Structure 1
Amino acid sequence: MCGIAGVHSERASPDRPTLHAMNECLAHRGPDEDGTYINGPVGLAHKRLSIIGLNTGRQPIFNEDETVCVIFNGEIYNYPQLRDQLVTSGHTFETETDTEVLVHLYEEYGPSFVSHLEGMFAFALWDAASGRLLLARDPMGIKPLLLADDGDSIAFASELPAVLESDVDHGGIDQTAMGQYFSLGYIPAPRTAFENIRKLEPGEQVIISDGEIKRTQFYTPTIEHRDIDFRTAVDELRTRVETAVEKRLMSDVPVGAFLSGGIDSSIVVGTMANQMDDPVKTFTVGFDEALFDESWAAQEVADYHDTDHTEFTVGPDDIRAAIPDVLDRLGEPFADQSLVPTYIVSRETSRNVKVALSGDGADELFAGYSRYRGEYYSKYYRRIPPAVRGSIIEPAVDRLGVSREDERGERIRKVKKFLRGGEPRLSHRHFEWSRIADDETLAGATRLTATSDGHASVQEAHDDAAKYLPVNRQDDLSRIQAVDTRFGLPNQILHKTDQASMYNSLEVRVPFLDTDVVEYALSLPTNYKITAREQKRVLKKAFDDVLPTAILERGKQGFDMPIGEWFKNELEDEFRATVSTLDSDFVDTAAVLRHLDAHKRGTAEHSKHLWSVYVFARWHNRMRDRGVI
């Protein structure tokens, strides 16, 4: 795992100090080695976290005559097979790394070589002979890559702060992106916080040649019609997941696993335990607040598989101490609350291993989130006449106090969220399940078209999903799952995991996002995943022998932190001080502070909304102080 950066300019050859500055922004992604390279209009920079071929992998890596070079972030899991094929074809290898496969594959197949790769990756490949620069991001969007273009020069990097170190004009704050942020909590690709900087989308390749930029989508899921019985689906799914885990154990350094105690990470750990000779090293984070704590469940799994288990307990003081380390590195605002505890567990994990497997992706593929259950039952709620819903049910529920201090308050919060399912149009319902603040809150706190900006991005994702889902997988739940897999997952969950882990020089691998697993899961009937009584039905059946009974039968508990309760108490002063110094045309700080007061009284539950404003305020203040905006 690594960090990559570079510049392409026809006006003048890139300068080494700029490349060095960009590279230093990525030092946490690769503390083991670095390298730079300048050739004509292109300058490349690389920071390496050595995982495979420890002594021979310094980048850039070249082909035999050094006319093609590459800088690479990620892992290619089928590189041994590709390497054997290339050696048979007459290619000579100088290293033991997976990275070198890329330059020789390019020699064989040209730009289409990217379709031969299985893994997670972002790379830049320079063909000096043809003057062609290739950039690409892996099919599932596990690894990030950003591109800035001001019409004169181009810069790219693994993280936004590195792009901002280049001389490319960022174009100012993107107002639509800010609207998306305040409604969803993140900025979905291809937008970023800045007008002239964009994210590559999952499965996208960019070719820069002869002054032109050509973008192509080299991957979208191939979803087949599978008319198979449930038992066959169980057996085939198990084989695919086991194969995916086995591939991701490939490493020349120690490998461990995140263990939350949920179904997904427990399956990954159980599968690892069956495949490894030594005990699996597992790591979990717990909270003092019982409503958020899953450490007991993680311990249950650790005991079941006799893992080498490490647990960390997080409280308000730990969060307060970690906030600068996390939020003050962000290139754009990102409001997933679990970023901070994920950072903490990554930090502690990195003291023991350099690679960790996670269960990310299974909730989207197998209908694990509570919103899927909400969607499942929402069809019954929509049968109630709108007049009754709007004049009786919803006003009555709105009057109930909501809090995340106890189970009652949490149930009320979930009921209020469920009532969003009254929307008749699927994309509207999906947006309502996903948004972090309602219309009234957003209208009072921001001077943006946040609701319409957020919904438009979700609608576009639904339109895209309709193009590759077969007719028999166009039911509402299948559509939502497909959108979450291709939209919410890379833009929120995977972005969070990449940031939190790479800030600590830790590589995280995600076996559920092997494209073979993804395509198979999306092809299965919805009732194989969710019924009136059960979620993740086919996945749990496939791995019931590696799950303790207590884990198999427990409900879904999200990985979250009680930031809303901390804003009422331990972190209130920090919130007020940060937001009060915000000077932005996008946010009405007085309205936000009123929302905090309502939140403290328990007349509203604004945890996610308040966190999003707090994150934005820290980001905006830092960008202003640095002279970026």
Structure 2
Amino acid sequence: MCGIAGRFNYKSAKPVERTLIQAMCNQMIHRGPDSEGIYIEDSVGIGMRRLSIIDVSGGDQPITNETESIWVICNGEIYNFQSLRKELEERGHSFKTKSDTEVIVHAYEEYGLECTKYFRGMFAFAIWDKVRRRLFLARDRLGQKPIYYHDRNGTFWFCSEMKSMLEDREIEQSVNLTALDYFFAFQYIPSPYTIFEGIQKLLPGHQIVVENGSVSVTQYWALNNLCVCRSEGEYIEKIRTLALEAVKLRLISDVPLGAFLSGGIDSSIIVGLMTKASNSQVKTFSIGFEEEEFNELTYARMISEKYGTDHNEFVVSADVVDLAQRLVQHFGEPFGDSSAIPTYYVSKMTRSKVTVALSGDAGDELFAGYSKYPILAKKNRFSPAIKMINQFLKGTLSSLNPSFVQPESFIRRACLSLLEKVYSVEERDYVWMIYLDTYFKGKLYSRALRENIWEDPCRKYYEKELGKSINSGVLDRILFADIHNYLPDDLNTKVDITSMANSLEVRSPFMDHKFVEFAASIPSHYKVKDGSTKWLLKKAFADILPDEIRNRKKMGFAIPIDKWFRTDLKSLFEGAVLGTSSRWLTEHFNLGFISHLFDAHQQCRANHGSKLWLILNYFLWHEAFMGN
């Protein structure tokens, strides 16, 4: 695992300074503490920081082909590198290292821009082709590894973390207001947007070619979610075969590895399969809280005892003030998923014992694991005649603003019950996804900010993403959208940033693209059945999962954020938000409304911890990266 960066002046002969590439790499030492590599050739410069995983002593980057005409830097792993290497050697290619990265160079020589289709892994790589004067970048299919890029006036920049790119003083920093609105709606900024105007995220399954004075972005992989008819037994057999294969591929490492274990369905399956595939005792790592309602350690211990793992636990205290500010620096843009806090801590604990950890991420998106899916799977029972009154009812219900009412209140429950009856399934999912709705943002934003954001860009974005699904089934479309948005832009971003902040590589077997493709072909009625989530996945691994794990309610990676805003985070919020001296922030946000929200929370008249976390995160980011 590494951090990569570079600059290419593709419309001029202006040389790239080594000191710039060095500075960009220095911002990512945590991603690669083991070594650094830089290549400069006139108007192009590429660099990387390396975390050594495979071929520890001989796999330093950049890596070249036999004639040194092709250079590559890569962040991630090519899990099928051993079989690919054998095929390429049979075709006459000569290898100098045992590294998985070297197969990228020779696959590019053999297959050109089609080489990405042969890779099975998580990756973000850049290839410099000296002969063609071509810069070629690609990102893995599920977006596990990031690529940020910027193209302006004949110069192209790229990096693994945005703050690396900002080392170049030619990069202009201005806030993308549409991205700001996305952040407050979704708690993350969806690809290809970033908080900075002009800087973009490369979409998962896409690649970039900079050549002959132009920049082109193309898609090399698309998920086909059309259902394929099979028997239940055939589905189960294939799930088990592909999952075990994916785990075995991710156990290839020249350094110690372990697994995250929450005690949930997905991580328990991964640990069970690791135990089956490994000849040594599996190391497991779990996070807990002092507050019992957020603590899953009991279930994690149950799995550890079942499989005899070397188990490690860490209990998170409320001392999160320093971490909240450090996370802003690591993410480089506002990121509001508060589960980044426990993910950071479990990564830190895990890194003290191993360098690689397997996780159960993506099981929920592939097999409908969230509590919203059984609700959304219900068919709309209302006739077209009744639906004619929807617009009137929606307007009335929206004026009540359910998101601003206490979650446990009767009014909110009544509103959501009515919304379920008059909204379409897609509309209900949109309401479910939104953290701050249009009404709330109207109160939060100043008039100046409201006037600069075009009408409800978040809804238009969501509708566009739903429309990309080939399968017209409602639940299939929603799962498709979650795989392409929530998974890469929230979960994968969170895991990448928090794990790499601790120099830890995290591998996710459920994101093996062959496993994903098969899971997407399974009809949704096998995923949600009789109100039960992950029905087929649970049945497929009934031998691995104890009844207590298989039948328990999903908890998620929740934290006591409401309590923390009445204790440790209180003074931080008062200083960073209510006491801000930033003219931009005071002109674009309604501090009177924010103060009212904060006071209501302190007086326990409402629990606004999640909303306050979004606001705090944005203000901390703005002060750190934009100043006044």
TM range (shorter): over 0.9
How many angstroms apart in 2 are the aligned matches of 1:61 and 1:67? 11
1:606, distance to aligned residue in structure 2 (A): 2.5
1:179, distance to aligned residue in structure 2 (A): 0.8
How many angstroms apart in 2 are the aligned matches of 1:345 and 1:450? 40
**SS of the counterpart of 1:84?**
helix
**Letter of the aligned partner of 2:458 in structure 1?**
G
Is the 1:180–1:450 contact (alpha carbons within 8 Å) kept by the matching residues of 2?
no
**Letter of the aligned partner of 2:278 in structure 1?**
M
How many angstroms apart in 2 are the aligned matches of 1:114 and 1:333? 31
**SS of the counterpart of 1:565?**
helix
Look up the match of 2:237.
Answer: 235
Quickly say closer, same or farther: Cα 1:423–1:144, change in 2 above 3 A. farther
**SS of the counterpart of 2:456?**
helix
**Letter of the aligned partner of 1:371 in structure 2?**
K
1:164 to 148, 166, 184: 166
2:188 to 179, 186, 189: 186
Please give the residue correspondences for 1:532-543 in structure 2 after superposition, counting only pairs within 5 Å.
532-543=530-541
Counterpart check, 1:558 vs 2:560: no
Counterpart check, 1:257 vs 2:256: no
Is the 1:334–1:615 contact (alpha carbons within 8 Å) kept by the matching residues of 2?
yes
Look up the match of 2:462.
Answer: 458
Which range is displaced more, 115-124 or 232-241? 232-241
Is the 1:137–1:204 contact (alpha carbons within 8 Å) kept by the matching residues of 2?
yes
Look up the match of 2:430.
Answer: 431
Is the 2:394–2:419 contact (alpha carbons within 8 Å) kept by the matching residues of 1?
no
Quickly say closer, same or farther: Cα 1:396–1:610, change in 2 above 3 A. closer
Look up the match of 2:578.
Answer: 580
How many angstroms apart in 2 are the aligned matches of 1:5 and 1:415? 52
2:527 to 526, 529, 533: 529
Is the 2:390–2:423 contact (alpha carbons within 8 Å) kept by the matching residues of 1?
no
TM-score using structure 1 length: 0.93
Quickly say closer, same or farther: Cα 1:218–1:419, change in 2 above 3 A. farther
**Letter of the aligned partner of 2:363 in structure 1?**
A
1:51, distance to aligned residue in structure 2 (A): 0.3
Look up the match of 1:375.
Answer: 376
Aligned sequence identity (%)? 38
Look up the match of 2:227.
Answer: 225
Please give the residue correspondences for 1:356-505 in structure 2 after superposition, counting only pairs within 5 Å.
356-377=357-378, 379=380, 402=406, 409=408, 421-422=420-421, 424-446=423-445, 447-448=449-450, 449=453, 452-465=456-469, 469=470, 473-505=471-503
Look up the match of 2:92.
Answer: 90
Quickly say closer, same or farther: Cα 1:417–1:599, change in 2 above 3 A. farther
How many angstroms apart in 2 are the aligned matches of 1:128 and 1:77? 27
TM-score using structure 2 length: 0.93
Quickly say closer, same or farther: Cα 1:451–1:380, change in 2 above 3 A. farther
1:516 to 490, 497, 514: 514
**Letter of the aligned partner of 1:359 in structure 2?**
G
Counterpart check, 1:51 vs 2:53: yes
1:455, distance to aligned residue in structure 2 (A): 1.6
Look up the match of 2:328.
Answer: 327
Please give the residue correspondences for 1:135-150 in structure 2 after superposition, counting only pairs within 5 Å.
135-150=137-152
Look up the match of 2:354.
Answer: 353
Is the 2:371–2:533 contact (alpha carbons within 8 Å) kept by the matching residues of 1?
no
Look up the match of 1:567.
Answer: 565
Counterpart check, 1:216 vs 2:214: no
1:375, distance to aligned residue in structure 2 (A): 1.3
Quickly say closer, same or farther: Cα 1:106–1:211, change in 2 above 3 A. same
Which range is displaced more, 393-402 or 206-215? 393-402
How many angstroms apart in 1 are the aligned matches of 2:298 and 2:8? 52
**SS of the counterpart of 2:56?**
coil
**SS of the counterpart of 1:571?**
helix
Deviation sequence 1:414-451 (CA, Å, 0-9, x none): 88666654563454332211111233221101234487
1:259, distance to aligned residue in structure 2 (A): 0.5
1:386, distance to aligned residue in structure 2 (A): 5.4
Is the 1:61–1:70 contact (alpha carbons within 8 Å) kept by the matching residues of 2?
yes
How many angstroms apart in 1 are the aligned matches of 2:102 and 2:422? 51
Look up the match of 1:174.
Answer: 176
How many angstroms apart in 2 are the aligned matches of 1:513 and 1:597? 43
Number of residue-to-residue matches in the alignment: 614
How many angstroms apart in 2 are the aligned matches of 1:608 and 1:336? 9
Is the 2:139–2:207 contact (alpha carbons within 8 Å) kept by the matching residues of 1?
yes
How many angstroms apart in 1 are the aligned matches of 2:543 and 2:455? 45
**SS of the counterpart of 2:14?**
coil
**Letter of the aligned partner of 1:558 in structure 2?**
G
1:258, distance to aligned residue in structure 2 (A): 0.5
**Letter of the aligned partner of 2:428 in structure 1?**
R
Quickly say closer, same or farther: Cα 1:596–1:88, change in 2 above 3 A. same
How many angstroms apart in 1 are the aligned matches of 2:515 and 2:88? 27
Look up the match of 1:2.
Answer: 2
Counterpart check, 1:548 vs 2:552: no
**SS of the counterpart of 1:327?**
helix
**Letter of the aligned partner of 1:131 in structure 2?**
R
1:607, distance to aligned residue in structure 2 (A): 2.5
RMSD in angstroms over aligned alpha carbons? 2.5
1:289 to 291, 315, 319: 291
Which range is displaced more, 414-423 or 111-120? 414-423
How many angstroms apart in 2 are the aligned matches of 1:308 and 1:19? 41
How many angstroms apart in 2 are the aligned matches of 1:32 and 1:144? 20
Quickly say closer, same or farther: Cα 1:63–1:387, change in 2 above 3 A. closer
How many angstroms apart in 2 are the aligned matches of 1:564 and 1:285? 19
1:413, distance to aligned residue in structure 2 (A): 7.4
How many angstroms apart in 2 are the aligned matches of 1:331 and 1:156? 14
**Letter of the aligned partner of 1:72 in structure 2?**
C
Quickly say closer, same or farther: Cα 1:380–1:609, change in 2 above 3 A. farther
**SS of the counterpart of 2:57?**
coil
1:581, distance to aligned residue in structure 2 (A): 3.6
Is the 1:183–1:450 contact (alpha carbons within 8 Å) kept by the matching residues of 2?
no
**Letter of the aligned partner of 1:580 in structure 2?**
L
Which range is displaced more, 369-378 or 197-206? 369-378
How many angstroms apart in 2 are the aligned matches of 1:601 and 1:381? 42
How many angstroms apart in 2 are the aligned matches of 1:63 and 1:368? 44
Structure 2 unaligned residues grouped into runs of 5+: none
How many angstroms apart in 1 are the aligned matches of 2:454 and 2:433? 13
How many angstroms apart in 2 are the aligned matches of 1:553 and 1:507? 31
**Letter of the aligned partner of 2:5 in structure 1?**
A
**SS of the counterpart of 2:194?**
coil
Deviation sequence 1:63-94 (CA, Å, 0-9, x none): 00100000001110111111011111111110
Structure 1 unaligned residues grouped into runs of 5+: 404-408
How many angstroms apart in 1 are the aligned matches of 2:310 and 2:458? 43
How many angstroms apart in 2 are the aligned matches of 1:175 and 1:400? 23
Quickly say closer, same or farther: Cα 1:141–1:25, change in 2 above 3 A. same
Quickly say closer, same or farther: Cα 1:169–1:92, change in 2 above 3 A. same
**SS of the counterpart of 1:126?**
strand
Look up the match of 1:406.
Answer: none
